[in-house]
Amino acid sequence: MKNRWFQYISILIVCVLVGLVIALLMKNLNVTNLGGKSLQELQNSIIDYQKKNEDLNNRNARLYEYLRELEAELAGGSGESYLHIVDEKEQYAVFAGLRAAQNAGVVITLTPVEGYRMQDAVIRQLVNELSALGAQAIAINEERKVATTEIRTSQDLILVNGVGFSRGSSFEIKAIVDPAKIDSYVVPYLVSVADSIKKQLGDQSVTITVRKDESVLIPALREDRIAYQTELLKPVE
């Protein structure tokens, strides 16, 4: 329903703007602007404004016609194809990380022991394991993981999507996974991976906890993040 009203409002705004343009064009043809022009120039100006006015009127009429057709389709139930396209677009946006997502999943918390600095390789390993387990959305410290997300060390920080987090602080990895496999496979497997990591790093390194969460909220990728940039991408014809 919101999509329908958004479509109505968008078209009505366009129609109003077209009407304002027409009004402004007509307003520009006033006595104060005509004083220094010859008769021929005035006639040419009038003809030019008439043509522009006609073009705008035609475009306005087409927009109103399109609005009526859309209303008829939605009222008659034949606008299902349009609604299907909108729903499909939203699904792609969720998949790409441009929309927030919520469902059952797991939460992994990594807390470094005092004096220990977190390693980016540990976070990457756990994120890769989640991807291998079929996680459909992942976030590290509320930063949405997408195809271009980087997880790397920079001196005393670990960068995720260009955002720095202290290597001495805790890290939280959230993921949405198949609810049917969380208890039977996902959590036990991640616990075994965590135990393996702790054995490699030693006791005085990091504690890792894995828990199930019935309602994991994965935020959308923020537009000001480096991973959001697309200005270099050109579509292939």
pLDDT tens digit sequence for 123-149: 999 999 999 999 999 999 999 999 889
Long-range contacts at 10-19 (CB < 8 A, ≥ 24 apart): 11/63, 11/66, 11/67, 11/70, 12/67, 14/63, 15/60, 15/63, 15/64, 15/67, 18/56, 18/59, 18/60, 18/63, 19/60
Question: pLDDT per residue over 57-105, tens digit each?
Answer: 777 777 777 777 776 766 666 556 666 666 766 777 777 778 899 999 9
Q: What is the pLDDT of residue 190?
A: 97
For residue 193, which phi and psi values (nearest 5 degrees)? -65, -40
Average pLDDT over every residue of 28-51 = 60
pTM of the model as a whole = 0.65
Element holding 40 (H helix, E strand): helix 39-75
Q: Is 24 exposed, middle or buried (0-12, 13-18, 19+ CB in 10 A)?
A: exposed
- What is the per-residue pLDDT for 31? 43
Q: Summarize pLDDT for 183-214 with one digit per residue, the tens.
A: 999 999 999 999 999 999 998 899 999 999 99
